Structure 1
Amino acid sequence: MWRVGIVTASDKGARGEREDRSGEEIRRLLREPDFEVSAWEVVPDEQGRIKEVLIRMADTERLDLVLTTGGTGLAPRDVTPEATRDVIGREVPGIPEAMRLASLRKTPFGMLSRGVAGLRGKTLIINLPGSPKAVRECLEAVLPVLPHALETMTGEFGDHGESLSFKRKS
């Protein structure tokens, strides 16, 4: 089972003025037995605070996957991608490319998402948009490959044969 953290970047959410529906949508989509939400935090749209939580979830809590929601747009306080780039060692550009492609199939506004994905040690961090609908579209686009990505990242998948949890359709 993969241990997951959810980080919602939202000024209003952090002040208790808005329900975290996007974080809830992530939790709903990550069904057992593959994933267990082990940590969930709502933080203000502040680069330093987002970085602090990402580092803690990766380095101290040693989560396998951290999914952020919010702060990926063009507003001045949308700084989640910058915070993520500050803490990752290597980017995984195919993940946000796939998410943007899935979004573009629904709306031209999908091209405005600035989300990134990358590795911090043995933790995969992925930025998702802030609306529940966009979270669902983007996470559904990449969810089928996440077990393989996590197995590869952690060394559970050695050779370039088939992954233990990702089987090709005949």
Structure 2
Amino acid sequence: MHNSSAKIGIVTVSDRASAGVYDDLSGKAIIATLNDYLSCSWQPEYRLIPDEQPLIEQTLRELADIQGCCLIVTTGGTGPAKRDVTPEATEAVCDRMMPGFGELMRSESLKYVPTAILSRQTAGLRGSCLIINLPGKPKAIRQCLDAVFPAVPYCIDLMDGPYLTCNENIIVPFRPKS
């Protein structure tokens, strides 16, 4: 399926940012990173919501099922605090989990901070959509995406999603030689 513009959901999960206490730098960092990576046409579906599990689940379902996003990237709500429920919401809406994403992101983040082991971020599949949880800090977002994104276009290929092309001087997607 080669549609004209891939839809990608960007979901910032933050009580304080959604209340206007501070600017959502994390969501902006994801959009900037995807703009760096992708050479194909794509359209962000951006949402900024509080740390409420039913609302996170509803937002993920809406982006996957109604908006038709091939990829949803969340930021925030992956730590051990009581309000951090993004991984639970992700697992609740996914058909199958993709634990390799969380494993790789944590091992990448551990090169920078010992507290990376406190991150519970994960990834999963809902229908033909890949959902990836990222940490909340903008710098960590880029580190984690740099680590996992080379596998993302092929994952989307395998789910019959749009063919994502990348700026290969920045990030090289891995697709097996057929």
User: For 1:127, which of 108, 127, 133 is the aligned residue?
Assistant: 133
Q: How far off is 1:33 after superposition? A: 2.0
RMSD of aligned residue pairs (Cα, Å): 1.7
Tell me the distance in 2 between the aligned counterparts of 1:155 and 1:42.
25
| Aligned residue among 67, 72, 79 for 1:73 | 79
Larger relative CO (CA 8 A, sep 6+): 1 or 2?
A: 2
Residue 42 of structure 2 aligns to a residue whose secondary structure is strand
1:118–1:125 CA contact under 8 A, matched in 2: yes
Aligned to 1:166: 174
Match of 2:119 in 1: 113
Please say if 1:18 is aligned against 2:22: yes
User: Residues 35, 150 of structure 1: CA spacing in aligned structure 2 closer, same or farther, 3 A cutoff?
Assistant: farther
| Equivalent residue, structure 1, for 2:145 | 139
Q: Which runs of 4+ in 1 moved over 6 A?
A: none
Residues 35 and 134 of structure 1: CA distance in aligned 2, closer, same or farther (over 3 Å): farther
TM-score (normalised: structure 1): 0.89
- 1:86 aligned onto 2:92: yes
Distance 1:40 1:72, change over 3 A: same
For 1:4, the equivalent position in structure 2 comes to 8
Instruction: Show structure 1 runs of 5+ residues with no match.
Output: 158-164
Q: Secondary structure at the match of 2:79?
A: coil
Q: Out of 140, 144, 149, which is 2:155 matched to?
A: 149
Shift of 1:136: 1.1
Gaps of 5+ in 2: 164-172
What amino acid sits opposite 1:166 in the alignment? Answer: F
Q: Equivalent residue of 2:140, what SS?
A: helix
- Report deviation, 1:145: 1.4
Identity of aligned residues (%): 46
With the length of structure 2 as denominator, give the TM-score of the two structures.
Answer: 0.85
More divergent stretch after superposition (31-40 vs 92-101): 31-40
1:13-54 superposed Cα distances (whole Å, 9 cap, x missing partner):
111111111111100110232462430010000000100100
Task: Answer whether contact 2:87 2:122 (CA < 8 A) is retained.
Answer: yes
**CA distance 1:2–1:98, shift in 2 (3 Å):** farther
